[in-house]
Structure 1
């Protein structure tokens, strides 16, 4: 054994004893628990512990009964807020430990409420009939749980006290439904589940340079491709300039309607100037770079539904052009829904969710079916956010 190795062992031993001595000789703070509130709660509830002489740095430890640690969410010398752990908690007093040797125990008892099942997460939180969905939570029964999507019960594949896997049932409407678990005769609070395949993009990623059709498309994000004009990611939004057209062509994101299939396309958009010469909108049922429908609005609030076969050089299919009470230089959500080829329900809402425009329009020839979605901008004054495509 070489001398350097022996010296290292001796140094470690000295440091270990020094640390132990420091802990043993650490002055007592005189911590005290005065109250806990509430005295009853469920997993992931926040409990407030009031007391004296806690550490004003995040080195306090809160222990539930059976020494199960909780996650501290805020702290000061006189108050600690702690989250009830997901599992293992039983009824009993709470403890606060400061340093190694100083522990205070509450005179009150915290009672864990296990009367209701609690849902932590749903994965995936969207899907079509037959999709396997796993629900994580607490207070489930070991067996004989019931899972409802809306009013429809799901077939349970496997289950235990913390995880339930089900098969998404047939016959659900598209869009949001309430998911509820019933265990031991008690029901959980409802969680939202989206029926359909969802493609989403909130553009919350690294800013990019302006990208044209010859640039590195991946810089804009997976699935996006520029047909003409230029686009960039800037401050969490998708910006266009120079009469830009960009498509979202992720695998499977084809907009089919009819025979039980539907699509719902939505996106936030903003025209930064109140001018009739500036348009922005979304394209849908795009067959290629030249043939597609467009729903667009200008800065004066005129909404138009059009079709083109030459990439916007000509618009032989203007199906309506209508004024809506939509001042420019604001953000709106535009939505297209279709369950029948060539028939579309259009909605425009403000950021508060109020529907400002609602109209159903048909193309008698249903010239474009299937295809992809995208964004369309005329001029240099439009940007987009919160792209969402729900397919069923």
Structure 2
């Protein structure tokens, strides 16, 4: 018994020593000590919010495992990292002073030897506006930098009241703000003509950009924006524009021979409409809707066109061209298309698919439409007036339309009024 007991004790001691040694080896191999961090320089030492700095030193890790902390516990964004250098985007917070801290885990950190300054915001920089002319009440998105202290889009009253928009000296209604954008409407009471638009934040004013107050002009979009990799299917259609709304289908901004265009893919009654203005006909209003369309298909089942008086994807009017050159003005009711005065195959030789055509619909009375179609050279292919005997729709939104086929390309959409009311 003693022999077995002694053997057992020796075995237990051996196992314990083996476990300790194994753990020590594992600890050494798998959990190496972190290299100490040093910061030798930060340059520049003073920058504006959102700008980029370089931190030099040693012991830095990857961009994902290195944390840069600014005074006030503000986190910087590490853009590039090497063992001796970090490229960091500064937080968009103004008037911050103090040392910068770099951490790579646990207690392994270092602070900059000199004080670093994030300067106060400069004057707002107004670079562009989503639309440059239109009537009072037109929704506009101002774009630039330092427009608001809100980093992301915000409709909180506490953020909105810090930014003002002056249009011709009249304060506009601001609906949303962000660091790079301000959403507002052209205020009532302005006379027709050019008026300056300025952004005011913290008592500092931007340089002005002129807006043309013109009651005849309602909306225009040339889609000259960055091409999108993915299709937009939900609202707001990010990458297209907040002024647009997807009623149905998939849409995106694409490049067509060096020009920005709108594109959609195949589907039934695909529509995308502008939500800024309506195509309403009454005693004081009429409208002209126009745009360029291109059918990817060359067969009769693939249609592209402009839609107007849009209620939803199954109820609206459309002036449309098929891939093989058929021309129609249709009313779409509960998803079914019926002819609203124009149904012609006489222009097939002049309207082949895979070409751009300019479509225009003018309405000066309810249910009465003047239609014009021209080619890329401006040559008129068709012009005529038609009446919808069924008197289906008066008022709604307008945009682009496609059904069946392969979808299409679209450009230079406009809504205008020829006889605006007072």
Q: What's the TM-score once normalised by structure 1's chain length?
A: 0.53
Q: Cα deviations across residues 191-238 of structure 1 (Å, max 9, x unaligned)?
A: x9xx979999x95349xxxxxxxxxxxxxx9744xxxxxxx7699975
Q: How does 1:92-111 map to 2 (within 5 A)?
A: 92-101=98-107, 102-107=109-114, 109-111=116-118
Stretches of structure 1 that go unaligned for 5 or more consecutive residues are: 1-21, 207-220, 225-231, 350-355
Stretches of structure 2 that go unaligned for 5 or more consecutive residues are: 1-27, 151-157, 212-216, 224-229, 235-244, 254-262, 332-336, 418-422
Structure 1's 278 and 316: CA in aligned 2 closer, same or farther, altered over 3 A?
Answer: closer
Counterpart CA distance in 1 for 2:407 and 2:178 is 50
- Tell me if structure 2 keeps the 8 A contact 1:117–1:183: no
**Which of 33, 43, 66 is equivalent to 1:60?**
66
How far is 1:98 from its partner? 2.6
Q: How does 1:250-289 map to 2 (within 5 A)?
A: 255-256=279-280, 259=284, 262=287, 269-272=294-297, 280-285=303-308
Q: Could you tell me which residue of structure 1 aligns to residue 86 of structure 2? A: 80
- Tell me if structure 1 keeps the 8 A contact 2:308–2:396: yes
Counterpart CA distance in 2 for 1:145 and 1:323 is 53
Structure 1's 391 and 106: CA in aligned 2 closer, same or farther, altered over 3 A?
Answer: farther
- Tell me if structure 2 keeps the 8 A contact 1:198–1:388: yes
Q: How does 1:86-235 map to 2 (within 5 A)?
A: 86-87=92-93, 89-101=95-107, 102-107=109-114, 109-117=116-124, 129=137, 137-138=148-149, 146-149=164-167, 151=168, 153-155=170-172, 168-170=186-188, 171=190, 180-181=199-200, 183-187=202-206, 203-205=231-233, 223-224=247-248
SS at match of 1:311: strand
SS at match of 2:122: coil
Counterpart CA distance in 2 for 1:154 and 1:73 is 39
Q: Could you tell me which residue of structure 2 aligns to residue 29 of structure 1? A: 35
How far is 1:147 from its partner? 1.1
Counterpart CA distance in 1 for 2:105 and 2:38 is 14
Q: Could you tell me which residue of structure 2 aligns to residue 375 of structure 1? A: 401
Counterpart CA distance in 2 for 1:152 and 1:260 is 28
Q: Could you tell me which residue of structure 2 aligns to residue 47 of structure 1? A: 53
**Is 1:70 aligned to 2:76, yes or no?**
yes
- Tell me if structure 1 keeps the 8 A contact 2:292–2:413: yes
Counterpart CA distance in 2 for 1:179 and 1:165 is 13
Counterpart CA distance in 2 for 1:166 and 1:270 is 36
Q: Cα deviations across residues 281-332 of structure 1 (Å, max 9, x unaligned)?
A: 2143469989945143757xx7x864357725983589999959xx9657x6
Counterpart CA distance in 2 for 1:51 and 1:348 is 64
- Tell me if structure 2 keeps the 8 A contact 1:240–1:381: yes
- Tell me if structure 2 keeps the 8 A contact 1:319–1:361: no
Q: Could you tell me which residue of structure 2 aligns to residue 15 of structure 1? A: none
- Tell me if structure 2 keeps the 8 A contact 1:127–1:168: yes
Q: Please give the root-mean-square deviation of Cα atoms over the aligned residues, in Å.
A: 6.3
Counterpart CA distance in 1 for 2:38 and 2:89 is 20
How far is 1:370 from its partner? 3.5
Structure 1's 345 and 252: CA in aligned 2 closer, same or farther, altered over 3 A?
Answer: same
- Tell me if structure 2 keeps the 8 A contact 1:254–1:371: yes
- Tell me if structure 1 keeps the 8 A contact 2:295–2:302: no
Counterpart CA distance in 2 for 1:49 and 1:152 is 45
How far is 1:90 from its partner? 1.1
Counterpart CA distance in 2 for 1:69 and 1:152 is 39
Q: Cα deviations across residues 255-294 of structure 1 (Å, max 9, x unaligned)?
A: 3257356575658654155x8x686421434699899451
Q: What's the TM-score once normalised by structure 2's chain length?
A: 0.50
- Tell me if structure 2 keeps the 8 A contact 1:54–1:77: yes
SS at match of 1:138: coil
Task: From the CA coordinates, give the structure whose radius of gyration is larger.
Answer: 2
Structure 1's 320 and 166: CA in aligned 2 closer, same or farther, altered over 3 A?
Answer: same
How far is 1:85 from its partner? 2.0
**Which of 307, 330, 345 is equivalent to 2:329?**
307
How far is 1:77 from its partner? 2.5
